[in-house]
Structure 1
Amino acid sequence: MRSLVLLAAVGASLAGCAATATQPTLQPAVHPSPHESLVEAARSDAAGRSGLPAREMKLVALESVTWPDGSLGCPRPGMGYTQALVPGYRIRLQVGREVWDYHASERGGLVLCPPGRAQEPVPGGGRS
Structure 2
Amino acid sequence: MSRELPAVQLALQMLAGTLGCRPEAIEVIDAEAVEWPDSSLGCPQPGMMYMQVITPGYRVVLEHGGQRYTFHTDAGRRAVRCDAGRPPAATR
TM > 0.5: yes
How far apart are the structure 2 equivalents of 1:40 and 1:111? 13
- Structure 1 distance, partners of 2:49, 2:24, is 35
Aligned-pair RMSD on alpha carbons?
A: 1.9
Higher relative contact order structure (alpha carbons within 8 Å, sequence separation ≥ 6): 2
Larger radius of gyration: 1
Structure 1, unaligned runs of 5 or more: 1-32
Structure 2 segments unaligned to the other structure (5+ residues):
none
Q: Are the counterparts in 1 of residues 10 and 77 from structure 2 also a CA contact under 8 Å?
A: no
1:39-97 deviation per Cα after TM superposition (whole angstroms, max 9, x unaligned): 11211111110112210111100101000111000111111111111111110100222
Identity %: 36
Give runs of ≥4 in structure 1 deviating > 4 Å: none
Between Structure 1 and Structure 2, the one with more strand by share is 2
Of 31, 35, 39, the match for 1:66: 35
The answer (yes or no) to whether the contact 2:7–2:76 under 8 Å persists in 1 is no
Matched, 1:102 2:71: yes
TM-score by length of 1: 0.63
More helix by share: 1
